[in-house]
Structure 1
Amino acid sequence: MTSTDNTLKPGPWRVVLQAQQQEIPFIMEVEEKDGNPALYLINGEERILVDDIKTEGDSLKIRLHIFDADLIAKVKGDKMEGRFTRNDLKKPYSVPFTAEHGKTNRFKENPAPATYDYTGKWEVVFTKKDGKSYPAIGMFEQRDNHVTGTFLTETGDYRYLEGQVEGDQLKLSTFDGNHDYLFKAAPKDEKTVQGEYFAGLYDYETWTATRNENAELARADSLTYLKPGYESLSFTFPNTEGKQVSLSDDKYKGKVVLVQLLGSWCPNCMDETQFLAPYYAKNKDRGLEIIGLGFERTPGYEQAVPRLKRMQERFNIEYDLLYGGIADKEVAAKALPALNHVLSFPTTIFIDRAGKVRKIHTGFSGPGTGKYYEEWVVEFNKTMDELLAEK
């Protein structure tokens, strides 16, 4: 590119991130919103609005949703090139990308016919570089070459994945504005596939999946619990205005309280917050309070609060957001010493009107998991109705 005008043409753009010698593609769509350009990150049925777009110097800076991450690019006509940068890590990372206007194919534009059907439910084991493994469930729906689905784990899900089957080779990707994931797989036999998983600059895992319609994970309310001798929680942390807030404050006495361990960097937390924020607005008059306890990826209140405020504004969160510390599960466990451990962000703690912990839900299965999300909504409403009905 020799010159740029940095004008984003309306319509679809095919974006390809380069990481770990892999191409991680996604689609974004540009349109005009209130007289200004806005774009949507598209993953399957999901459309994530991104409307903070500015010109800085000779480049376009696209702030990615609630995340402390950007696409910084130079645009010339139908082409774009630049870098995807994440600023929420100890060592901010940056990977190159290119984009082309008018393209809607995530992977190959004209793939060879599919010879293997990945539709169905799979029992999955992911194995990390250090040899440690964890269970998951894969759920995929395939129509000809096109495939959508997700993986559920005991600490959350991989949200909306979309991709392609060419021959018997599977490729899936997603980009939520902060995380870039690529999954590959090929069949070992009729019932088993073997695959690889790439995320960002360094994360790499292998995975094996076997067809199993009865595959199940541990119950989400069985993984985190109170240590012997504890019935309640106690904590005090600053909110986004700098005021110290305690669970023992009068505001929470006699109320049903949900404590949500979250981070602005966490896509599963984003999904849960998109449910909890309107739920609170609708039900707060029933005697409900929610406390979002934020753990952020860079240490220090001054660095964390702008990120939490951005999340607060984007999702219209009316309940208190507090800063709990750095995004580390051991730090979170020390902040709440009554818990046996913290396995996941998010973790949601249900407290009754008497101040006793009644239930702890580890992780979150978001709308990308289909029936699992729907089942969670039913169970959540049942639990809350029971707690709110108590005197």
Structure 2
Amino acid sequence: MKLKTHALSLFLLTFIFLSACDKPSHQLSTGVWRGALITASGAEIPFNFEVIDSLNAYTIYIINGEERFEVKEISTDGDSIHIKMPLFDSEIKGILKDNKIEGVWTKFLADTNVEMPFYAKTNTNWRISEKLSSSKFNVNGKWATTFITDDGKDTTYAVGEFHQKQAKVTGTFLTSTGDYRYLDGAVSGNKLSLSTFDGSHAFLFTATINPDSTLSDGKFYSGLSYIENFTAKKDSTAKLPDAYGLTFLKNNDEKLHFSFPNLNKEQVSLSDEKFKNKVVILQMFGSWCPNCMDESAYLAKFYSKYKNRGVEILGLAYERTRDFEKSKKNVERMKNRFDMDYDLLITGFTNDKEDAAKSLPMLNKVIAFPTMIILDKKGDVRKIHTGFSGPGTGKHYLEFTQEFEKLIDDMIKE
């Protein structure tokens, strides 16, 4: 009897061991992963993400600095994995095996699609380098920065603002058209590396740090193949032009007028009763635009506080396509993501800035998405704000929201 019991126990142990060995290698492991997108030039754009498994329903949080960008549309089929980004019309498809993913990130555009090779590995919480070399350099503070196109014909002024703790660096670059959102990276030796991925933009910044408080040999990689050079100098007084002075009416006395369909194809214009004797905020945005995402998240909360105080918001969407149904689908995803309880209109104009300018010909031009136009109770344009400094810019975001809300409070009292 003891022999039979021993044999049975040995059989059970063997079965359990073999079952464990046969456990599928294509399960999505929880924990922190390191992902990377590969540019046409061979540069890696790294980022981290955390996988959470709740009752066999996966959630991914893409990590960039303080941001944790939630992604819930994840499906697996055998060794195949499909990650659909909640905004920006992009996705990752790949093969999941042995705690690794190899595949492609696809960004869907109006006329063509852009694909970048992608790989990821679990249990990897480092981003730039597994072993960072010690450095005497510290990049804390403001940096007056000049981006130069590869052909040298175009330059853009920016202000870099970085925060360094030991080797780790976070921060962003601010420009007149918006910021580069949450950048995350490190200093290793005399090299600075920063990256971000948010489902729309994949950015990598690299530069050499010099003893004279300058950055040289700067390279900005964006997406599959775009590259710009940049230089920078540490400057505590660096600042951008006034965002309220870049876009303006050609004729100061002219009023805005337009008629665009909402998501139910009902025509909406500023002459509608709903907007009479109210402060009206026009938001020129696109579902493809990360800075617009930040502005929409803010305006959605702002509207919930101000909609009963005589304030209305109209979102004017400029999508990558003129197709109403495709545009509506992408705008609805954004509306649902941020609980945008104000009217959203499909303009039928695209995100090409010259095309967008035709929708509101009374403006001097359209420089950036987003652009915010503030109308007083008489329907007169009071201010136009170009771009948006999101929460990744820290105090700049707080300063804008405080000044903006004070302006609206004052206009309500008029």
So what's the TM-score if we normalise by structure 2? Answer: 0.91
Q: Say whether residues 1:366 and 2:390 are aligned partners.
A: yes
Q: Secondary structure of the equivalent of 1:54?
A: strand
Q: How far does residue 346 in structure 1 lie from its aligned partner after superposition?
A: 0.2
* 1:176-230 CA distance string (max 9 Å, x none): 1111000000034412112110001121111110111001110000000111254
SS in 2 for 1:181: strand
Q: Does the Cα contact within 8 Å between 2:26 and 2:99 map onto a contact in 1?
A: no
Contact 1:81/1:97 (8 A) holds in 2: yes
Equivalent of 2:92 in 46, 71, 78: 71
* Counterpart Cα distance in 2 of 1:229 and 1:141: 42
1:9 partner letter = S
Unaligned runs of 5+ in 1: none
CA distance in 2, matches of 1:272, 1:52: 23
**What is the alpha-carbon distance in structure 2 between the residues aligned to residue 4 and residue 72 of structure 1?**
19
In structure 2, list runs of 5 or more residues that go unmatched: 1-22
Residue 285 of structure 2: aligned partner: 262
| Among candidates 22, 33, 54, match of residue 13 of structure 1 | 33
2:148 is aligned with 1:124: no
Count of residue pairs the alignment pairs up: 388
* CA distance in structure 1 between the partners assigned to 2:28 and 2:206 by the alignment: 31
**Aligned residues of 1:69 and 1:88 also touching (Cα < 8 A):** no
SS at match of 1:284: helix
Runs of 4+ residues deviating >6 angstroms: none
Aligned to 1:344: 368
In the alignment, what sits opposite 1:138?
160
2:251 aligned with 1:231: no
Distance in 1 (CA, whole Å) between partners of 2:55 and 2:280 is 38
Residue of structure 2 in register with 1:149 after alignment: 171
Letter matched to residue 33 of structure 2: W
Offset at residue 90 of structure 1 (A):
2.3
User: Following TM superposition, by how much is the alpha carbon of 1:5 offset from its aligned partner in structure 2, in angstroms?
Assistant: 5.8
The residue number in structure 2 matching 1:102 is 123
Post-superposition CA distance 1:85-122 (Å, at most 9, x none) = 10134221111111111100001111111231111111
In structure 2, the CA distance between the partners of 1:34 and 1:266, relative to structure 1 (3 Å rule), is farther
CA spacing shift, 1:313–1:49, aligned 2, 3 Å: same
Q: How far apart, in 2, do the equivalents of 1:125 and 1:42 lie? A: 27
Letter of the 2:91 counterpart: D
Q: Share of identical aligned residues, percent?
A: 46
TM-superposition CA deviations, 1:225-272 (whole Å, max 9, x none): 111254321011111111111121111111111000000010000000
Partner of 1:80: 101
Deviations 1:340-383 (A, max 9, x none): 11100000000011111100000000010011111101111111
What is the SS of the residue equivalent to 1:268? helix
Work out the CA distance in 2 between the residues paired with 1:282 and 1:229: 30
Secondary structure of the structure 2 residue equivalent to 1:335: coil
2:167 partner amino acid: N
The one of 64, 71, 74 aligned to 1:53: 74
Report the aligned-residue RMSD.
1.5
Q: What is the alpha-carbon distance in structure 2 between the residues aligned to residue 240 and residue 251 of structure 1?
A: 17
Tell me, yes or no, if the aligned pair for 1:287 and 1:388 is still in contact at 8 Å: yes
CA distance in 2: counterparts of 1:47 and 1:58, whole angstroms: 26
The residue aligned with 2:113 is 92
Structure 1 equivalent of residue 313 of structure 2: 290
How much does 1:299 deviate? 2.7
